[in-house]
Chain A
Amino acid sequence: MEHEIICLGCPNGCHLLCTSKPGGAVDVTGNTCDRGADYGREELLEPKRTVTAVVRTDSPRVPWISVKTTRPLAKPLIPELLEELYRATAALPARRGDRFIENFRNTGVDVVFTRTASLEEAT
C-alpha cells in the first residue's frame, strides 16, 4: 500500500511516497537525503515526535521552565509523558541541558531543560 507523507526531518518538507512490502520492509521515494528515507520508514511503522512543554518549578521567580525530549518519542506515549510532566515540579536552579526525566518508559528518550533558571537573577 502506498502512503504520501510530508517529511518533517527539516523545513524543506519533501513529499515522500512510502510503500510497505510484505515482511515489514518499506520503500521510500521522493526523499532528497538519507534522513528522509529513515523518516518515511519510521513514520509508516512507528511515528514519533519531539515533545516540548513547560514544567512547574518550586520558585516563584521562574514559575515554569521549558523542557524537550532529547529524541522523538513514539506518538502513543506522548499523552503519558505530558501528564507526567504537568504533575511534576522541577527544583531550581536548573541549567539548560540538565536531565529532568531519564529513559522515559524504557524508550531511551530523556527529557531535558531547554533554559537556565537561576535563583539570583533572571536569565
Chain B
Amino acid sequence: MIVEAFVGNVPENAGFGAPPGGTNTPAKVISHMRDLEYDAVVIGAGAAGMAAALRVHAAGFRVAIVDREDHLGGILLQCIHNGFGLHWFKEELTGPEFAERLAAQVREAGIDVYLNTTVMDLVADNGMKSLIACSAEHGVLSFAARAIVLAMGCRERNRGNIGIPGSRPAGVFTAGLAQRLINIDGYAPGKRVVIIGSGDIGLIMARRLSWVGAKVLAVIEILPHPSGLTRNIVQCLHDFDIPLYLSHIVSRIAGQDRVEAVEVTPLENGTPNPAKTFRLECDTVLLSVGLIPENELSKKAGVQLGHDTGGPRVDAHLMTSVDGVFACGNVLHVHDLVDFVADESSRCGGNVAAYLGAGLSAGGQGRVQAGPNVKYVVPHAYVPGQDTQFSLRAMIVKKRGTLQVKRAGVVIKRKTLQHIKPAEMIYFKMKGTELGPAGPDPAPIEISVE
C-alpha cells in the first residue's frame, strides 16, 4: 500500500517547521542593536523578493533581502509539482527547481540575505525608511534604507473566513498547510478527504493526496464553474475519478475529536436546498478557498490598501501610497503563475533602481479603473507615453471574449481573448503610444472584458 509506505518511519524531528541548526541553539542575550544601511531592503525571499532584489543589485545599488523562513524561495519549496518556469526560464520546472535557480542568482550576485529574521516594524516617513527585525542569529537589527520592497506574499483564507457551520474537530486544514505537511514534513494529513473549493492548490492537493494513498471523496465548489485551471481539473481530478460538485456548499462539518463527516448541500438559484443535502464520511477536510495578501507590515508603514486586490494600491511604478515603498508579487495581488510574479517583481526592481538613481519619470499619472466584468486591474495608475504591463482578473467565463480599454470614453484598444475566466489572470501590455501623449493631468482609463 502506498499510504503505509509513505507515512511509516517519520523521523522524530521531522515535526512542523523543522528548523535548521541555527535556531536550535539557545538564544543569546542581546545587549545592543546592530545598525545596517542599504539603498534598498526587500522584505520576503520568495520569487518576488529575489527577482526584485536581483534587478536592484544589477543596477549597482546595495540591497538586502530579509525573510523569516530558513531558506530562499518562500512557498515554492513545498510546491513540488511541475508546470512552473515556462515563461521565465523557458523550461518546465518544479517549484523547488524554480526557487533554486533564482536563489543561485542571488548568491552569485553576492546579495546580503538575512534568513530566520522576522521584520517587526517598518517606519516609512519621507526620506529614510527604518525597519526593525530580529533573529536568534543576528539579534535585533535596525535597517535604514531609502527604498523598501514589500514582497511578503499572501496567506490562505481559512474556515473562519468562510464560516462553515458545525463542530470544531481536528482534521480541518488549509490546502497549503496540508501541502507543507506532506511535502516538507512527510506526514499524510488523513485517509478520507473532502476538499472545499476548486482553486489550483486544492486540485494539486487532490492528486498529491491520491498519490500518497489517501482517498479523495469529492471537491465541493460554491461557484457554477471551477476556480482552477482546466488542465488541473483533468490531471488532478479526472485522472483519479474524483467528483467535482459545482454550485454546492459544505453546510456542516461533523465530528467530536476528529472530523467524521461533512454535509453537502446543492445551491439552486443561489439558495441552498436542504432537502437535497447528502453526507460524506471522511476524516479530513481541506480548504482551498482563496488567498489574501499579507498586509501586517504594509499597514504598519501606513500604506493604503485597495478593496479590489486586498493588497496595497500602487501607482504606475508599482510604488505604494508611501513614497519609496514598493510592492510586487502576491502581496500586491494574488497571481496564478510564479512566472508572472517574477516578471512583475523584476519590473518593480527596475523602478526601485530608477527611484534610487535618476528618479522616476515625473510625468502626471492617470487613474486605471476596473470596468464591467473586471474585479481589479494592477497597477492602479498609468503614465501616458510609457509602456505598461497590466494584470487583471475577470469575473466572467467566456470563450472568444473581448478586452477593451477606454480613455475618456473613447476606445483606445480592443483585443480578442480565446478564454476569459476568473481562474486565469489576464496579463497584457500596452505601448506608450497607445496610452496617449504625456500631459499634466491624464484622463483615467477603464479596462473591461465582455
Chain B nearest Cβ from A28, distance in angstroms: 16
Which chain B residues border A106 with CB–CB below 8 Å?
Answer: none
Instruction: Give Cα A52–Cα B103 distance, bound, in whole angstroms.
Output: 21
A47 closest partner in B (C-beta) = B239
In the complex, the answer to whether B2 meets A86 with C-beta atoms within 8 Å is yes
Chain B nearest Cβ from A116, distance in angstroms: 6
In the complex, the answer to whether B71 meets A8 with C-beta atoms within 8 Å is no
Is B411 on the interface with A (CB-CB < 8 A)?
no
1/0 per residue, CB under 8 A from B, across A68-108: the answer is: 10000001001100110011000000001000000000000
Is A66 on the interface with B (CB-CB < 8 A)?
yes
Chain B nearest Cβ from A5, distance in angstroms: 8
Instruction: Give Cα A79–Cα B3 distance, bound, in whole angstroms.
Output: 11
Interface size on A, residues (CB 8 A): 33
Is B82 on the interface with A (CB-CB < 8 A)?
yes
Is A49 on the interface with B (CB-CB < 8 A)?
yes
Instruction: Give Cα A121–Cα B22 distance, bound, in whole angstroms.
Output: 9
The A31-66 residues at the B interface (CB cut-off 8 A) are 49-54, 56, 60-61, 63-64, 66
Instruction: Give Cα A122–Cα B97 distance, bound, in whole angstroms.
Output: 15
Which chain B residues border A87 with CB–CB below 8 Å?
Answer: 5
Instruction: Give Cα A75–Cα B241 distance, bound, in whole angstroms.
Output: 14
In the complex, the answer to whether A123 meets B80 with C-beta atoms within 8 Å is no
Which chain B residues border A25 with CB–CB below 8 Å?
Answer: none
Is B360 on the interface with A (CB-CB < 8 A)?
no
Chain A nearest Cβ from B425, distance in angstroms: 11
Which chain B residues border A78 with CB–CB below 8 Å?
Answer: 211
Instruction: Give Cα A103–Cα B100 distance, bound, in whole angstroms.
Output: 25
Which chain A residues border B186 with CB–CB below 8 Å?
Answer: 54, 56, 63-64
Which chain A residues border B20 with CB–CB below 8 Å?
Answer: 61, 121-122
| Candidates A6, A49, A51; contact of B230 at CB < 8 Å | A6
In the complex, the answer to whether B184 meets A82 with C-beta atoms within 8 Å is no
Is B412 on the interface with A (CB-CB < 8 A)?
no
Stretch at the interface among B11-19, B255-263, B388-396: B11-19
Known: A52-B81, A83-B2. A123 touches B103 (CB 8 A): yes
In the complex, the answer to whether B5 meets A116 with C-beta atoms within 8 Å is no
Is A1 on the interface with B (CB-CB < 8 A)?
no
Is B323 on the interface with A (CB-CB < 8 A)?
no
1/0 per residue, CB under 8 A from A, across B64-84: the answer is: 000000111000010011110
Chain B nearest Cβ from A16, distance in angstroms: 11
Instruction: Give Cα A115–Cα B94 distance, bound, in whole angstroms.
Output: 9
Which chain B residues border A24 with CB–CB below 8 Å?
Answer: none
Q: How large is the interface on B (under 10, 10 to 19, 20 to 34, 35 or more residues)?
A: 35 or more
Chain A nearest Cβ from B271, distance in angstroms: 32
Instruction: Give Cα A83–Cα B213 distance, bound, in whole angstroms.
Output: 10
Which chain B residues border A53 with CB–CB below 8 Å?
Answer: 80, 211
Chain A nearest Cβ from B321, distance in angstroms: 34
Which chain B residues border A61 with CB–CB below 8 Å?
Answer: 20-21
In the complex, the answer to whether A11 meets B80 with C-beta atoms within 8 Å is no
Chain A nearest Cβ from B338, distance in angstroms: 12
Is B40 on the interface with A (CB-CB < 8 A)?
no
Known: A54-B182, A60-B13. A11 touches B2 (CB 8 A): no
In the complex, the answer to whether A115 meets B97 with C-beta atoms within 8 Å is yes
| Candidates A56, A82, A96; contact of B211 at CB < 8 Å | A82
In the complex, the answer to whether A52 meets B94 with C-beta atoms within 8 Å is yes
B100 closest partner in A (C-beta) = A96
In the complex, the answer to whether A13 meets B13 with C-beta atoms within 8 Å is no
In the complex, the answer to whether B5 meets A11 with C-beta atoms within 8 Å is no
In the complex, the answer to whether A13 meets B70 with C-beta atoms within 8 Å is no
The B172-229 residues at the A interface (CB cut-off 8 A) are 182-186, 211-212, 229
Chain B nearest Cβ from A58, distance in angstroms: 10
| Candidates B18, B115, B182, B239; contact of A49 at CB < 8 Å | B239
In the complex, the answer to whether A10 meets B86 with C-beta atoms within 8 Å is yes
| Candidates A8, A10, A56, A66; contact of B234 at CB < 8 Å | A8
Instruction: Give Cα A7–Cα B56 distance, bound, in whole angstroms.
Output: 39
| Candidates A60, A63, A96; contact of B97 at CB < 8 Å | A96
The B44-74 residues at the A interface (CB cut-off 8 A) are 70-72
In the complex, the answer to whether A63 meets B13 with C-beta atoms within 8 Å is yes
A115 closest partner in B (C-beta) = B96
Is B38 on the interface with A (CB-CB < 8 A)?
no
Is B9 on the interface with A (CB-CB < 8 A)?
yes
Is B337 on the interface with A (CB-CB < 8 A)?
yes
Please provide the 10 A-B residue pairs with the shortest distance between their CB atoms, ordered closest to farther.
A86-B5, A122-B20, A115-B96, A63-B14, A66-B80, A13-B230, A114-B94, A86-B6, A64-B186, A60-B13
Q: Return 20 A-B CB contacts under 8 Å, by A number.
A: A6-B230, A8-B235, A10-B86, A11-B83, A13-B231, A50-B82, A51-B211, A52-B94, A53-B211, A54-B182, A60-B11, A60-B13, A63-B14, A64-B14, A64-B183, A64-B186, A68-B80, A83-B5, A96-B96, A114-B94
Known: A8-B235, A54-B182, A64-B185. 18 other contacts (CB 8 A): A6-B233, A7-B231, A13-B231, A50-B82, A52-B80, A52-B81, A54-B80, A56-B186, A63-B18, A64-B14, A66-B96, A66-B183, A68-B80, A68-B94, A96-B96, A114-B97, A116-B100, A121-B21
